Amino acid sequence: MEKNIVISSLNNLAAILHDNYLYEFIINDSTYQVGNIYIGTIARIFPTIKAVFVGIQINKKYKNGFIHANDLFLLRNKKNVPSLSVIVLKQKLCVQVIKEAFFDKNPRLTVNVSIPGRYVIFSPLNKIVCISRRILHNNEKEYLKSLALLIRPLSFGGIFFRNNAIQVSTDVILEEWEILKFLLKLIIKIMNQNLKLQSFLLYQDSNISKKIIRDFYHLQISSIFVDLPQALKKIRFYLEYWSCLTFNPNLKLLVVSKQLLERFKIHSAIAQAYSFRVELLPAGYIFIETFEALTIIDVNSGIFDKQKHPIGLVLILNCSAAKEIAYQIKTRNISGVIVIDFIDMISKKDQLELLRYLHKLFKYDYAQTQVVQFSELGLVEVTRKRTGKSILELIINSYPNFSKVYSAMCRIKVIDPTKFLSEKSSYLTARLSLIKTYSSAYFEQRTFTPDVKVIQCTKETYVLNYIMRQKKMKINVL
């Protein structure tokens, strides 16, 4: 599988592509980000709900942040002292955003400030050693634990080893550790200044090139495309800074100065995230509706008649829908409770097979995802942890006029919203390629994960006849 990174410095966005399909979309929101460190003033204390609101003035809409009393335990000098007793009104605190604002809800803050690096994350207030769950080998875990024991006497604070820490030498990790400690000293020095400001920003990841190389680059990336020569210099600097080129010397760094987003169809992927209807192959479509923390996905088979076709074909259509649903959830970054209404299946065996396939699709998702069994009404519930803003929220916040332009284009029929996202040149070309796929007795669609097996189906003439009836065409079976 070919994996590429596209970075547009002019539009302040980036995309991760797997086989030229959008896998992840990142917009660098300059007004608000998870990980920002602020100096704020305590505005209100609510002992009944054990909550504290801190004024940090992120923007005009969100002026306060929320801290739960359990997050204040690091400020206590004694164990038996209540958390709310260590703070007073108008007291200044150093806080960090750990959860983004969600519609009208204020962002969640914490006093447990952490500074991220590519290989380690430094947290000065606690003394915990953590290792990424993506590191599976016990020998590598023991090595990192031993390294933490050697580092801890030289400094203070907690250490979190990221997945990339196993790919570099000890000297690189120690060098980054020293840099993170130096950043902390600068933050403490600014905090100790007698500033009259009630709140101000201390630390922010405003450089999208640095953020992409630090958090999203890995050894499987084959190419990085940028739109400016200056951005290419920054990318090369950060790759050399974190010793990435040493382990991936064949990495290609290319500048595409004209129509970078159009070349990789980023605009069509953005429009797809804004569309409620997604077409499926070989037939059918899905509707995706999001209401704050609840998302409803409905799978429709079109004009498919179950009575004229075998029951096994329903499982194939549901599995194709499940693959597209997993892809859409990942790319749109949908979180919360997700209710999926698949095509009705009578067989319990088919239902279990579909659930197994869903587990495989969500196995490689970085966000914690849980798939629940079929309900009595035939619905599948999926819960996905919120890790950031969805692509729809990012688009609306960064490009407020996008929804108006898109709706206007659909209204005057400049574009067809059902075919606006088609990766093929025409609808007929997509159907003809589908017939060839069925004639080879395999169902294939875009790949969500490299380890998901292709679903095998039977080579039957009635499937081709059904597809042709939709377009009122007659064609001989290949």
Q: How confident is the model at residue 296 (pLDDT cuts 50, 70, 90)?
A: very high
Q: Quick one: pLDDT at residue 400?
A: 57
pLDDT given for residue 266 in this prediction: 85
Answer whether 308's CB lies under 8 Å from 469's CB.
no
Of the ranges 186-190, 270-274, 344-348, 381-385, which one carries the lowest mean pLDDT score?
270-274
User: Are residues 20 and 241 in contact, defined by beta-carbon separation less than 8 angstroms?
Assistant: no
Which of the four pLDDT bands, split at 50, 70 and 90, describes residue 187?
Answer: confident
Closest CA to 13 of 1, 26, 30: 26
Assign 199 a pLDDT band (cuts: 50, 70, 90): confident
Coil, strand or helix: which one is 223? strand
pLDDT at residue 307, as a whole number: 60
Answer positive or negative: Cα dihedral of 53, 54, 60, 61.
Answer: negative
214 Cβ partners below 8 Å, 6+ apart? Answer: 116, 117, 118, 238, 242
pLDDT reading at 399 higher than 80: no
| Beta carbons within 8 Å of 338's beta carbon, 6+ residues apart | 295, 296, 297, 329, 381, 382, 383, 384
Single out the residue of 114, 121, 125 nearest to residue 165, CA to CA.
121
So what's the pLDDT on residue 447? 37
Query: How far apart, in whole angstroms, are the C-alpha atoms of residue 340 and residue 356?
Result: 15
- Provide the pLDDT for residue 415: 40
What is the token pair recorded at 236?
Answer: 């090369």
pLDDT of residue 131: 92
Residue pLDDT, tens place only, 118-138: 999 998 888 888 999 889 899
pLDDT number for residue 299: 92
Neighbours of 48 (CB within 10 A): 5
Rounded-to-integer distance, Cα 446 and Cα 22, Å: 10
**Is pLDDT of 104 > 90?**
no
The string of pLDDT tens digits covering residues 76-99 is 665 666 667 778 888 888 899 988
What average pLDDT does this structure show over 105-112? 87
pLDDT of residue 81: 62
Question: At what angle are helices 312-332 and 266-274 packed, to 10 degrees?
Answer: 110
Beta bridge partners of 296: 289, 339
> Averaged over 208-221, what is the pLDDT?
91
Tell me the pLDDT of the chain averaged across its residues.
77
Query: Bigger pLDDT: 412 or 23?
Result: 23
| DSSP structural state of residue 453 | P
- HSE-CB of 434 using CA atoms within 13 angstroms: 18
Q: Measured on CA atoms in the order 51, 183, 61, 368, is the torsion positive or negative? A: negative
CB 260 within 8 A of CB 6: yes
226, 58 contact by CB (below 8 A): no
Which pair of tokens denotes residue 74?
């690091």
In contact, 112 and 125? CB cutoff 8 Å: yes
Q: Which residue has the tokens 């302040």?
A: 12
Q: Give the pLDDT band of residue 344 (cuts 50, 70, 90).
A: confident
Question: CA-CA distances (angstroms) from residue 201 to 59, 95, 97, 204, 206?
Answer: 12, 10, 11, 8, 12
* pLDDT, tens digit, 9 for 90 and up, residues 406-453: 444 444 333 444 343 333 334 334 433 443 343 333 333 333 333 333
Output 312 or 318, whichever has higher pLDDT.
318
Pairing of strands 252-255, 221-226: parallel
How many Å apart are CA 266 and CA 255, to the nearest integer?
16
Locate 138 and state its tokens.
Answer: 């016990």
Give the model's pLDDT for residue 455.
35
C-alpha–C-alpha distance, residues 421 and 444, integer Å: 19
Q: Would you state the pLDDT for residue 365?
A: 85
Residues in the chain: 478
Mean pLDDT of 149-153: 76
Mean pLDDT on 321-343: 91
On the 0-12 / 13-18 / 19+ scale of CB atoms within 10 A, 33 is middle
